[in-house]
Structure formats: structure tokens, C-alpha cells
Amino acid sequence: MAKNVGIVIVSHSPDVAKGAADMVRQMVGTHVPLAWCGGNPAGGLGTSVEAVVKALELAWSDSGVVIMVDMGGAETNSEMAIEMMPEKRRARIVVCNGPIVEGAVMAATESSSGATLERVRRAAEELYSR
Amino acid sequence: MIQAVADTVIGHADELTELDRAIGDADHGVNLERGFKAVLAKIDVIAAHPIDQALSEVGKTLILSVGGASGPLYGKLFATIGQHLCGPEELSKARVVAACEHAIGVLKTLGRSDVGHKTMLDVLVPSLDRLRATDGPASLRTVREHAHEAAVATIPMVARRGRASFLGERSQGHMDPGARSSELIVGAVCDFLETRL
């Protein structure tokens, strides 16, 4: 089981989500669990609760997972997805209030050093809290 | 009743999307249409359930199929109302009002919003107030009228939540799409009940 905190990127656009994930991969390699999703259930712009659930499972780490979202529905649907996760996991998933691309890269960098969920969250939110 | 709500929302999908084009991302009607079509696709299964489970199923279906913030918001609304109508006691106005109060509380938390933010709450909260305050055969008509007035009242509001809030004062002068869809749903429920009571 992965020890580093996982990162999930949720955008309305699959291209944005995948692009942000590519940047994270380039920064931190493969030892940070990472998954992304984007697009509504019909394949248009939007987000899908089921896709977020799958991404959370894919990037799961017992150290926890941070979710980076772009706006509105991505956040609400991510919160819905957390509710659908097994109860034991829910407390170890946080939706971060940070910019999706920069936040994901900063969170991943922090996670790659073995930081705790709380420290990874703070790194992701740093740009908005300055 | 669920069929009537779904038909009404689907029938107004283009209008909702147009409202959303003005101050949002032009997907509200499309999203709700997809959600309620998914509900209609299993309407027979839903209709076979008692009211509480039926509403929970509607909620779950909307959450999984809508793809925008309106999915979890309306999904939670229906599911929470269902959850609070569960149990052997007979349905009464008091129970329905209490269930709606719980559901609106959940929406406020989930959307981190409240009345006056130019959202669906600006229709749902006053409609429920009116339902609580009125009785008798005219009650449904006044609730429906009040829902309409409340949706119209979102036109001059400045959006504080949702995509429209990015526009700040430029969101003034447009009806909130979520308020309009809530008005449609409240209206469809009132219409349906009027034919049955």
C-alpha cells in the first residue's frame, strides 16, 4: 500500500485534469499515487461523482488523499464522492482550496517528501492563503 | 409526481440552459435534462418503492448522472426529503414540512449558501415558508405563486455563490437558473397534488 499522500485532480475538462496530472508526474515521478478525472457522465464538460470515486480508489493511500478541483460542481461532486467512500476512508480525504494546477504540483511535491495529509493540504492551499 | 417533475424540467431544459448562458456556463438545462431522463429510464422501479425509498432513488440517480453542482444539490434535496419521510407514520403536512426543512438545511451546508445569494434557496426557502403558513385547498396555489414571485425576485440580486458569483454585479438583471428550476419543480409538485387532493 502506498505510503505517500495521494493526489486526485478533478476538472470540468478532461484535458485540464490530464494536463495538470502530466505536470505533477513530471515533477515527482511515480511514487506519489495520482489520478485525475474530468467531464460529465455524458462526456461533455462537467464532473462525474462516479469518476471521482474511481479516481479516489486509484490514488488511494492509507496516508490519505487530497483532491484538487477547479470550480463549483467539481467541488460539490467531489464532496458527494467522499460521502460514497467507505466510512473509514472518508476522514482521510480532503478537498483543497487552491489553484488546480499549481496546487496539485505543490501538493505532490510535498507528498513526495513523505509529508502528512495536513501538510500536503497546507501546501496545496498556500497560494490562496497568502 | 416524480414523472410530472421530470417532464416539467425536461420540457424547460432549453430555457434553463439559456438562463445559465447569461450568468453561468450554459449547462443547467442540459445537465438536469440528463439527470431527469435517467430518472425516467427507471421510473417503473422507482414507482414500485414507497415514497421514502423512491425519493432516495431519485436523489441517487441525479447525483450520479447530472454532472454539475446541481446534481448533488437536487439529489441531496430529494434524498433527504425521502429519508425524513421514512417510517410507518402516515404522511402529513407537518411531516412533509419537517422533511423539507431538513433537506434545505443540508443544501445550505453543501452549497455553503443561504437565502439572498441568488440560488435555488431563494425559491425553496420562501416556498416552504408559504406552505407552512397556509392551509386548505388554496394552499398549493399560493405556494406555486410564491415560488414564481421568489424566482422573479432573484433577477435584481447579485450572485454570491456558484459560477454567477464570478460576474459580481454583472449577474444583476438575470433570473438565477437554479431558482427557476426550483420554481418549476415546486410548481410541478403543486400542480400534481392539486389534481389529486
Q: Is A61 on the interface with B (CB under 8 A)?
A: no
Residues of A in contact with B111 (CB under 8 A): 76
Q: Identify the sign of the CA torsion B117, B121, B125, B126.
A: positive
Encode pLDDT of B93-148 as tens digits: 999 999 999 999 999 999 999 999 999 999 999 999 999 999 887 899 999 999 99
C-alpha cell at B55: 425519493
Q: What distance in Å separates the CA atoms of residue A101 and residue A17, rounded to the nearest whole number?
A: 8
Residues of A in contact with B64 (CB under 8 A): 41, 48-50
C-alpha cell at B90: 402516515
C-beta atoms of B27 and A80 within 8 A: no
Report strand pairing: A34-38 vs A93-96.
unpaired
What angle is formed at CA B62 by the lines to CA B67 and CA B146, rounded to 5 degrees?
Answer: 105
Which is the catalytic residue, given A12, A21, A53, A65? A12
pLDDT reported for residue B153:
97
C-beta atoms of A79 and B30 within 8 A: no
B2-196 architecture in CATH?
Alpha Horseshoe (1.25)
Widest distance between CA atoms in chain B: 50
pLDDT reported for residue A42:
86
Q: What distance in Å separates the CA atoms of residue B44 and residue A88, rounded to the nearest whole number?
A: 35
Host domain of residue A41:
6-129
The residue type of B40 is L
What secondary structure does DSSP assign to B20-85, as a single string?
HHHHS-S-HHHHHHHHHHHHHHTHHHHHTS-HHHHHHHHHHHHHHH--STHHHHHHHHHHHHHHHT
Mean pLDDT for chain B overall: 94
Q: Is A48 on the interface with B (CB under 8 A)?
A: yes
Q: What distance in Å separates the CA atoms of residue B67 and residue B93, rounded to the nearest whole number?
A: 33
Q: Is B111 on the interface with A (CB under 8 A)?
A: yes
Domain map of chain B by residue range? 2-196
Q: Is A97 on the interface with B (CB under 8 A)?
A: no
CATH of residue A18's domain is 3.40.50.510
Residues 6 or more apart whose CB falls under 8 angstroms from that of B14 comprise: B29
**Does residue A1 lie in a domain region?**
no
Q: Which residues of chain B have pLDDT under 70?
A: none
**Does residue A85 lie in a domain region?**
yes
- Count up the domains in chain A and report the number: 1
The pLDDT profile of chain A, 130 residues, written as one tens digit per residue, is 558 999 999 999 999 999 999 999 998 988 899 999 999 988 889 999 999 999 999 999 999 999 999 988 899 999 999 999 999 999 999 999 999 999 999 999 999 999 999 999 999 999 887 6
- ipTM, two decimals, is 0.77
Tell me if B177 sits within 8 A of B155, measured CB to CB.
Answer: no
Proportion of chain B above pLDDT 90, given as a percent = 86
**Does residue A82 lie in a domain region?**
yes
Tell me if A78 sits within 8 A of A10, measured CB to CB.
Answer: yes
Query: Is A12 assigned a catalytic role?
Result: yes
Alpha carbon of B68: minimum distance to chain A alpha carbons (Å): 5
Q: Of A42, A50, A76, which is closest to B69 when you measure between CB atoms?
A: A76
The residue type of A100 is I
